[in-house]
């Protein structure tokens, strides 16, 4: 933990999606850094206040709460979510974001940090490394909603005079992930003594980031004095195919066997290596948790608390 913050540097931060994977970790990381966190999610819990940010009256009710900044992690959170109910995505990921921006404008916030996704890039040809100024070509409605959200966030901030940063976070893994995750599927099978089975992607390259590093990037984005860009790509700094990842699991859990289909996963974007130089230079972001460390932590967690997936 850093030195205690002075009152001038201690921010009261509204965090949305604080019961989710990234939001929960971000809320904890912000508190560790001395900030005052108003954690919210769709339903109330011991750690979160209920907030439906698609409800304008609900967000307006927070105008006088004294917030200095908003960290917006809440969303329909991946290409597979609401696949069969796509009309939900724009009202939540774009309309809800606008409600929070209007709250920020009226509350006089200093900064709005928006959790975007590398899904905004779509498929990218070439060898990389890929910087943030590449043309965005999202190929999913989720990716399109995140790209639209980035533009709305940047435009709102420029028009109304508060700072905004969008973090294009790659695929996040970690102990609290509840949505499908290839790493978690393999780890669950390994710990349970089962064969790891995945239908696609043996040679598909992916750029994961541990949830702890994703949360650290959010703290850095919130605290950055003079960010030079409106958007930054955040990854764990490694690019591996699933065969390599499964092999790493088998080294950490001797005897683990796996079978992964060689066909390309139709739901995955094709990305060369991303450059995270801008995030390092402007925000001070450097990933700290290697994939080997992260998977070892996940194995220990599954051994202690049990698997999520019963089958691949």
3-class DSSP state of 261: coil
pLDDT value, residue 25: 98
114/153 Cα distance (integer angstroms):
8
Give the pLDDT confidence of 42-99 residue by residue, as tens digits: 988 888 999 999 999 999 999 999 999 999 999 987 655 656 777 889 999 999 999 9
pLDDT in tens, 216-234: 999 999 999 989 999 999 9
Query: Residue 82 has what pLDDT?
Result: 58
pLDDT, position 258: 98
For the chain, the average pLDDT equals 93
pLDDT at 311 over 50: no
User: In this structure, are residues 212 and 289 in contact, taking their beta carbons and an 8 Å threshold?
Assistant: yes
- For residue 122, pLDDT beyond 50: yes
Q: Predicted confidence band at 197 (pLDDT cuts at 50, 70, 90)?
A: very high
- Fold observed for domain 12-177+208-236+270-289: Rossmann fold (3.40.50)
Residue-by-residue DSSP string for 88-105: GHHIIIIIHHHHHHHHHH
Domain ranges of the chain: 12-177+208-236+270-289
- List helix spans (H) across the chain: 21-32, 56-60, 89-90, 96-107, 141-160, 182-192, 211-223, 242-252, 277-283, 291-305
What are the structure tokens assigned to 68, written together? 């200095």
**CA 310 – CA 312 distance, rounded (Å):** 7
């Amino acid at each position: 933990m850093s030195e205690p913050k002075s009152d001038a540097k201690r921010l009261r931060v509204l965090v949305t999606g604080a019961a989710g994977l990234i939001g929960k970790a971000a809320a904890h990381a912000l508190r560790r850094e001395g900030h005052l966190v108003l954690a919210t999610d769709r339903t109330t819990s011991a750690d979160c206040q209920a907030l439906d940010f698609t409800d304008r009256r609900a967000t307006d009710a927070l105008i006088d709460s004294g917030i200095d900044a908003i960290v917006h992690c809440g969303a329909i959170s991946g290409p597979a979510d609401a696949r069969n109910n796509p009309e939900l995505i724009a009202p939540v990921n774009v309309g809800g974001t606008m409600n929070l921006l209007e709250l920020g404008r009226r509350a006089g916030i200093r900064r709005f940090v928006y959790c975007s996704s590398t899904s905004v890039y779509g498929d990218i040809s070439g060898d990389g490394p890929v910087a943030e100024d590449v043309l965005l070509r999202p190929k999913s409605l989720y990716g399109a909603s995140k790209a639209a959200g980035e533009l709305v966030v940047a435009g709102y901030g420029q028009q109304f005079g508060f700072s905004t940063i969008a973090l294009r976070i790659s695929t996040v893994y970690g102990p609290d992930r509840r949505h499908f995750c290839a790493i978690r599927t393999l780890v669950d099978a390994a710990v349970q003594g089962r064969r790891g089975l995945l239908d696609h992607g043996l040679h598909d390259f992916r750029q994961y980031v541990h949830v702890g590093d994703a949360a650290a990037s959010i703290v850095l984005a919130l605290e950055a004095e003079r960010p030079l860009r409106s958007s930054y790509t955040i990854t764990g700094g490694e690019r591996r195919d699933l065969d390599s990842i499964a092999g790493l699991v088998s080294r950490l859990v001797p005897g683990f066997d796996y079978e992964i289909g060689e066909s390309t996963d139709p739901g995955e974007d094709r990305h060369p290596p991303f450059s995270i130089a801008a995030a390092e230079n402007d925000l001070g972001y450097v990933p700290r948790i290697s994939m080997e460390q992260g998977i070892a932590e996940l194995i220990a967690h599954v051994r202690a608390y049990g698997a999520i997936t019963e089958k691949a």
